[in-house]
Amino acid sequence: MSIESEIARRRTFGIISHPDAGKTTLTEKLLLFGGSIRSAGAVKSNKIRKSATSDFMEIEKQRGISVATSVMSFEYSGQLINILDTPGHKDFAEDTYRTLTAVDSVILVVDSAKGVEAQTERLMSVCRMRNTPVIIFVNKLDREGLPPFELMDELEDKLQIAVRPLTWPIGMGQSFQGVYNLHDRNVYLFQPGKTVVEDDRLLIEELEDPSLDAELGSAAVQLREEIELVDGIYDEFDVGEYLAGNLAPVFFGSALNNFGVRELLETFVRIAPPPAPRESDARLIEPDESKFSGFVFKIHANLDPRHRDRIAFLRVCSGVFEKDKPFRHVRQRKDVRFSRPYSFMAERKNVIDQAFPGDVVGLYDRGDLKIGDTLTEGESFMFRGIPSFAPEIFKELVSTDPMRSKQLEKGINQLTEEGVAQLFIQDRGRRKIIGAVGELQFEVIQYRLTNEYGAACRLQPLAYSKAVWITSNDPAAVKEFLKYRDRQIAHDKDENPVYLAESEWMLQSMIRDNPELKFHFTSEFKTSGAA
């Protein structure tokens, strides 16, 4: 098969939701359709449950599961579909943001009873930043939830995107009877308890068909009225608007009962985009360029305590990735080769010889790769769009045993390279400040520093509330600003100066009083919105 047809048949998407909306269940059903797994229960949830075991143990378990579920591939209708999983927990939002840089589209799962939840809104704002095409699946229609018209309004308002239903529910909860397919203009009736994949659903082709009244009773009349309203309210679905990230098609169903999932999948394979070009600091990189390029968006380290191995997840952006072929590690200005690159199918890892744009490859690495690294076939450019976001909670890392400060140094360097949190340095390296978005990240750091690196430390809370990067067209202005603000200035790992604000008010007044400076809320200065 030519590289063009390999690219054309790939669909790489991220699945996102607020925890418990049904992301794992839906993923599993999609894999069942693809024949990639045979039984339910094969996909483990990556969420952290509050339970009798301590959070640390849960985090460890979750890390193991995350590797297995990070990427799951299956074939459907001639397409090769890569699902990239994301942690639902808000404290690991950065991990999700980075994964979203490696996808070409997104499926967003919403719980019909809960509507749009906080985490969903945040994730959607990241999709909007990149104009990522989004399909919405409203789940758990077998439970009592919000009325569908209300849900549609809420999706549009809170997610700030135009919506267009492509299926419509017939009742909900106890009275859930199926979905009307607005595209094909037919009805599939729900048979509770049927969770099999085979097409054994009752199909009624015409909304006017009298057998619909026989099946549904008064619900048939209501359905006809609702569909008339839907047709009146919403414009025709426009694929171009979906691909531009302006319009989200909406599906209703029940992942657990496997209802509405096939409609979702069939539309997905019809409309979801193949691998898109990606911005680099030199030029736009097209997937069908003959030379390979890709970037690292995620790293998992020390899964096996006996080895110091890490798995780096690389998204192939152009050309063909090949086993044992020397590639350019642009940041380190050296050639690297990989003898055991992995692809990820659910339930197993396979060593692969080749990978194509849209694919995600797992690379074993001994510490050379970090998040955002670009590999090429010789050319020097770095992919953009893998920024660090301004953290909001800060703690000073204090060594409690000078004899073990080497372990601490190594541990914190590796963990921050893995993207667990961000490290800021003050006082020429003597003071280390860790910035994160959630408390759980600190728990992970403390636990892993102690258990994986044998370090001894404590984390002391600091009163900062935001770290923003500072630049200016006038280098003297930056120098002047840094001079008198010892305690508010730190440097990130690449030695970029960062202003640590104690409050939003302080930050806003700094921005107002220093018009010659630019304050950035993500580390990616050229494309980020400066304040």
Positions in the binding site for ligand G4P (CB under 6 A): 17, 19-25, 45, 47, 88, 139-140, 142-143, 254-257
Name the one residue in this structure whose structure tokens are 């989004």: 134
Return d(Cα 442, Cα 53) in angstroms, integer: 18
Distance in Å, CB of 121 to ligand G4P, minimum? 16
Phi, psi of 113 (to 5 degrees): -85, -30
Distance in Å, CB of 84 to ligand G4P, minimum? 14
Distance in Å, CB of 96 to ligand G4P, minimum? 12
Distance in Å, CB of 58 to ligand G4P, minimum? 14
Instruction: For the chain, give the longest Cα–Cα distance.
Output: 82
| Structure token pair of residue 309 | 């191995």
Return d(Cα 137, Cα 449) in angstroms, integer: 39
The DSSP call for residue 277 is: P
Distance in Å, CB of 373 to ligand G4P, minimum? 29
Cα 53–chain centre separation: 27
Give the chain's end-to-end CA distance (angstroms, integer). 48
Return d(Cα 492, Cα 413) in angstroms, integer: 12
Residue ranges of alpha helices (H) inside 70-209 are 93-100, 118-130, 148-159
Name the one residue in this structure whose structure tokens are 């009349």: 221
Return d(Cα 127, Cα 385) in angstroms, integer: 12
Distance in Å, CB of 18 to ligand G4P, minimum? 7
Distance in Å, CB of 475 to ligand G4P, minimum? 48
> Do 319 and 292 meet the contact criterion of CB atoms below 8 Å apart?
yes
| Structure token pair of residue 387 | 């920024």
CB of 61 or CB of 323, closer to ligand G4P: 61
Residue 489, strand partner residues:
499
Return d(Cα 473, Cα 478) in angstroms, integer: 9
CB of 173 or CB of 326, closer to ligand G4P: 173
CB of 112 or CB of 488, closer to ligand G4P: 112
CB of 23 or CB of 370, closer to ligand G4P: 23
Return d(Cα 415, Cα 419) in angstroms, integer: 7
**Strand pairing category for 393-399 and 247-252:** unpaired
CB of 109 or CB of 355, closer to ligand G4P: 109
Distance in Å, CB of 109 to ligand G4P, minimum? 6
CA atoms lying within 13 Å on the CB side of residue 149: 11
CB of 55 or CB of 213, closer to ligand G4P: 55
Distance in Å, CB of 19 to ligand G4P, minimum? 4
Return d(Cα 173, Cα 140) in angstroms, integer: 8
Name the one residue in this structure whose structure tokens are 């360097």: 413
- DSSP assignments along 15-73, one per residue: EEESTTSSHHHHHHHHHHHTTS-SSTT-SPP-----SSS-HHHHHHHHHHHHHHHSEEE
CB of 175 or CB of 332, closer to ligand G4P: 175
Instruction: Count how many residues are written for the chain.
Output: 531
Distance in Å, CB of 50 to ligand G4P, minimum? 12
CB of 9 or CB of 23, closer to ligand G4P: 23
Segment 241-247 long-range contacts (CB within 8 Å, at least 24 positions apart): 241/162, 242/133, 242/135, 242/271, 243/133, 243/271, 243/273, 244/131, 244/133, 245/127, 245/128, 245/130, 245/131, 245/132, 245/133, 245/134, 245/161, 246/131, 246/161, 246/162, 247/161, 247/162, 247/163, 247/164
Distance in Å, CB of 489 to ligand G4P, minimum? 40
CB of 257 or CB of 465, closer to ligand G4P: 257
Distance in Å, CB of 177 to ligand G4P, minimum? 15
Distance in Å, CB of 269 to ligand G4P, minimum? 22
